[in-house]
Structure 1
Amino acid sequence: MQQSAVPELAHTHTRPIHWVATAAAVSGVMALSSLLQPNSATAAQTAGPQARTTRTATAPSTTGVDFPLTCGPVKAVVQKKATGDLDGDGNPETVAVVHCDAPMGTPPDGVYVITRAGGSNKPRVVATLLDPKTGDTVSDFAIRDGAVVATLLGYSTNDIPRCCPDVTDSAKWQWKNGAFTRSTPAGAHSV
């Protein structure tokens, strides 16, 4: 066995100066990374046959809309919303997932299509895609290729606690022949 020419590799023992140098290097990297950020991400819907919008048209707001939802002493809350041209007329519609602001439990959701009344700036509900009376809640929700797609969570029986849905359904609503029609992809229902 050959003896080392250097006494016990002095550089393998940590000293306070090593910790100070490491802390300074990490701080420098963190400071530099906070200065060098990527550009903000933007989500844009691709212009498909049903997703055309004109640059001057803006989607209607959910503010001030009277949703067909009875909430008693609490107010209706817009949980999620998405915009897109659903009927191919070049003007975007807004689709909103709305439920009552219940202090406890899991209130059911309603899904509503909002547009502007013929030439007016006042937004109004023109279609109910999911009635809250079904008892379902919406987990995933988007507008894709001119259609509203959602994952619905529900209950197989009335004995299931309202906190814990045990049924998952996929739903798709699309504008056809002057009305919204719902389709469910094959095999999308699960218990």
Structure 2
Amino acid sequence: MQHSAVPELAHAHPRPIHWVATATAVLGAVALSSVLQPGSAKAAQPAAGTQSKTAPAATAPSTTGVDFPLECGPVKVLVQKKASGDLDGDGRPETVAVVHCDAPMGTPPDAVYVLTQAAGARQPRVVATLVDPKDRHTVTDFAVRAGAVTATLLGYSSADVPSCCPDVKSDAKWQWNGRAFVRSTPSAAHSV
């Protein structure tokens, strides 16, 4: 066996204390960087002697603890995807959640719900159902942009098609019209 001409370095054989020290240093750096953030940028500075007041940003409703109208029997309700945005133009964001039963086998159908939370309310509530689980859709390519909800829906052409193998794919878009969410189909449905 040939020995190295370089003496053995202390860090060549890390011990648990080295990992603890490294993790502590990284956490310290992350914590310090979150405290020392620069101020927000402004397009125009206020004139000398004037005060500017900004309204606190409204937070989107959380999906935690929401009673979704979904019957799952002994299994839990699982929030698969969620996105937020101001869908009705009131300046307060809504949350849109793709939800299904957390079944141990198979592909349970998805439901899409819109949540809102009134000022001062303790809990968000479901205000609209965009996709009903009875329709047996799986939701993909889900997004909330520019006041609209978009998704690709995988479904079935008949009740005879097995749940494993959706054979219809359609794009859907929902927008608030002042009274309800209206669905439009950007492109025609087609087979998978």
Instruction: Answer whether TM exceeds 0.5 for this pair.
Output: yes
Q: By how many angstroms is 1:177 displaced?
A: 2.4
Q: By how many angstroms is 1:121 displaced?
A: 3.3
Q: By how many angstroms is 1:186 displaced?
A: 3.5
Task: Give the Cα–Cα distance (whole angstroms) in 2 for the partners of residues 55 and 165 of structure 1.
Answer: 45
Q: By how many angstroms is 1:55 displaced?
A: 5.0
Match of 2:80 in 1: 79
The residue correspondences of 1:154-169 to structure 2 (distance < 5 A) are 154-169=155-170
Contact 2:171 2:187 in 1 (8 A): no
Q: By how many angstroms is 1:180 displaced?
A: 0.6
Structure 2: stretches of 5+ with no match in the other structure: 1-54
Q: By how many angstroms is 1:117 displaced?
A: 3.3
Match of 1:99 in 2: 100
Percent identity for Structure 1 against Structure 2: 72
- The answer on 1:183 being equivalent to 2:184 is yes
Letter in 1 for 2:75: V
Match of 1:130 in 2: 131
CA deviations over 1:149-191 (Å, ceiling 9, x no partner): 000000111221111111001100100022111111143x001
Secondary structure at the aligned position of 1:133 is classed as: helix
Match of 1:115 in 2: 116
Structure 1: stretches of 5+ with no match in the other structure: 1-53
Aligned length: 137
Letter in 2 for 1:119: G
Letter in 2 for 1:184: T
Q: By how many angstroms is 1:102 displaced?
A: 0.7
Letter in 2 for 1:144: R
Task: Give the Cα–Cα distance (whole angstroms) in 1 for the partners of residues 119 and 139 of structure 2.
Answer: 30
Match of 1:148 in 2: 149
CA deviations over 1:15-53 (Å, ceiling 9, x no partner): xxxxxxxxxxxxxxxxxxxxxxxxxxxxxxxxxxxxxxx
The residue correspondences of 1:6-25 to structure 2 (distance < 5 A) are none
Task: Give the Cα–Cα distance (whole angstroms) in 1 for the partners of residues 76 and 85 of structure 2.
Answer: 26
Task: Give the Cα–Cα distance (whole angstroms) in 2 for the partners of residues 177 and 91 of structure 1.
Answer: 15
The residue correspondences of 1:62-73 to structure 2 (distance < 5 A) are 62-73=63-74
In our comparison, the structure showing a higher alpha carbon Rg is 1
Letter in 2 for 1:115: T
Match of 1:174 in 2: 175
Q: By how many angstroms is 1:118 displaced?
A: 4.9
Letter in 2 for 1:150: A
Task: Give the Cα–Cα distance (whole angstroms) in 2 for the partners of residues 178 and 87 of structure 1.
Answer: 9
Match of 1:89 in 2: 90
Letter in 2 for 1:97: V
Segments of 4+ moved more than 2 angstroms: none
CA deviations over 1:88-133 (Å, ceiling 9, x no partner): 0000000000000111111000000011135313111111111000
